[in-house]
Structure 1
Amino acid sequence: MQLLLIIHILAGTVALMSAALAVSSAKGKKFHVLSGRTYFWSMVSIFLTAIPMSVVSSNTFLFLIAIFSFYLAFAGMRFARNRNGVPSIIDWLAIGLMVFSGISMWLLAAVYFVSKNPQYITLLVFGFIAVTLGYTDFKSYKNKTAIGKQRISRHLTNMMGGTIAVITAVLVTNVNIEPVWIWWILPTITIVPVIVWWNHRVLNN
């Protein structure tokens, strides 16, 4: 488990750095693509280490967060590569898993609420995001609108969402403050308006 944790931390560091490089570089250029790929494979490593660690520790909360975070990077990568907007089976499966994780978060939130665990707030927020993004991606594929600017918008939204997940992980690991749910949702509250603004620029320029 110690080895998994080390790989997990290293992957998180690389993901954070490569995300920053991808965001700050010219879109569509080689450096942006390389940074994005590095970010994606770092997120894969995070996912592949988080799942067994959460299972061994019987931590359902982190198990669901791992699925949620990985979907964002996966969907972002798929929208970047899939220029014709035609989904494959793996896209539908991923969307289904994302929505499932969101609903599961709500169910776990109910359990946490009854047991007076304040993390139910985090689960409610992330569950809403998971279901909303999953449904939005579903509509994009179903209506065949995931092309052109809309495709770029979906790519941007999911990749930035994954970046929020990495930033959140860094904060909750290194900052100890009560109530703990504040640091879980603060990056989301702070960065989502930027994503909305950025999407507006993409779709209207």
Structure 2
Amino acid sequence: MNGLLALHIVAGSLALVSSGVALAVKKGGRSHKLAGSTFFYSMVVIFLTAVIMAVLTANTFLFLVALFSFYLAFSGWRFARNRSGEPQWLDWLAVIIMVSSGLLMGLLAFKDYPQFTSTSVTLSVFGSIAIVLGLADTKSHRDRAATGKVRIAKHLTNMLGGTIAVVTAVLVVNVSMTPPWLGWILPTILMLPVIIWWRRKVKA
């Protein structure tokens, strides 16, 4: 567990730095592509270590959050690479897992109804985002719509979503907030308007 946790932290730090570089440099250039690839493969390591630790500790919450976070990075990476808009079987499998995990998050969030814990609030927010994004990407795959500016906007949205996941993890681990669920959703609240504005700018 100590080794897994150390690897998880190193990958998380690398993902945080590389996402910042990808945002700062010229989009589409060599530096942007290198930073984006570094971010994606760091997220792969984060995902694998998180899943193993979740299984070893029987932590369903960590397992679902790992699936949710990795989908954002994976789909963002796929939208960057797939210029044709033609989805592959991996894309379909990913959206199925994303929507399914969102539904499971919703079910677990209401397990303790009518009392809502910090975990319930977090799962409600993440579950809703997972379902909305997963269904939007499903429609995009079905219509072969992810080309041109739409593809770039989707790449931007999902990669920034993955960045939010990394920032959230760093915030939750290092900063104590009241109520506890605030640390889990604050980065999403702050970054969502930026993502919406940037999407509209790209598509315009």
- The alignment's TM-score, normalised by the length of structure 2, stands at 0.98
Q: 1-side partners of 2:36 and 2:112: how far apart?
A: 36
Q: 2-side partners of 1:188 and 1:122: how far apart?
A: 11
Q: Counterpart of 1:137? A: 137
| Partner SS for 1:119 | helix
Cα deviation digits, residues 28-80 of structure 1 (max 9, x gap): 10000000000000000000000010111111111000000000000000000
Q: Counterpart of 2:43? A: 43
How far off its partner does 1:171 sit?
Answer: 0.4
| Partner SS for 1:111 | coil
The size of the alignment, in residue pairs, is 204
How far off its partner does 1:116 sit?
Answer: 4.5
Q: Is the 8 A contact 2:152 2:202 kept in 1?
A: yes
Higher mean displacement: 87-96 or 136-145: 136-145
Q: 2-side partners of 1:61 and 1:152: how far apart?
A: 31
Q: Counterpart of 1:2? A: 2
Q: 2-side partners of 1:184 and 1:112: how far apart?
A: 19
Which letter does structure 1 place at the counterpart of 2:156?
L
Runs of 4 or more off by more than 6 Å in structure 1?
none
Q: 1-side partners of 2:158 and 2:101: how far apart?
A: 16
Q: Is the 8 A contact 2:22 2:36 kept in 1?
A: yes
How far off its partner does 1:112 sit?
Answer: 4.1
Q: 1-side partners of 2:39 and 2:96: how far apart?
A: 23
Q: Counterpart of 1:71? A: 71
Q: 1-side partners of 2:118 and 2:68: how far apart?
A: 20
Higher mean displacement: 138-147 or 65-74: 138-147
Q: Counterpart of 2:183? A: 183
Higher mean displacement: 129-138 or 117-126: 117-126
Q: 1-side partners of 2:203 and 2:112: how far apart?
A: 39
Q: Percent identity?
A: 55
Alignment of 1:52-131 (within 5 A): 52-113=52-113, 116-131=116-131
Q: 2-side partners of 1:90 and 1:175: how far apart?
A: 36
Which letter does structure 1 place at the counterpart of 2:123?
L
How far off its partner does 1:118 sit?
Answer: 2.5
Which letter does structure 2 place at the counterpart of 1:151?
R
Q: Is the 8 A contact 2:110 2:116 kept in 1?
A: no
How far off its partner does 1:144 sit?
Answer: 1.2
Gaps spanning 5+ residues in structure 1: where?
none
Q: Counterpart of 2:154? A: 154
* C-alpha spacing 1:116/1:131, structure 2 compared with 1 (3 Å): closer
Q: 2-side partners of 1:24 and 1:160: how far apart?
A: 13
Q: 1-side partners of 2:112 and 2:179: how far apart?
A: 14
Q: 2-side partners of 1:5 and 1:164: how far apart?
A: 20
Q: Is the 8 A contact 1:112 1:118 kept in 2?
A: no
Q: Counterpart of 1:25? A: 25
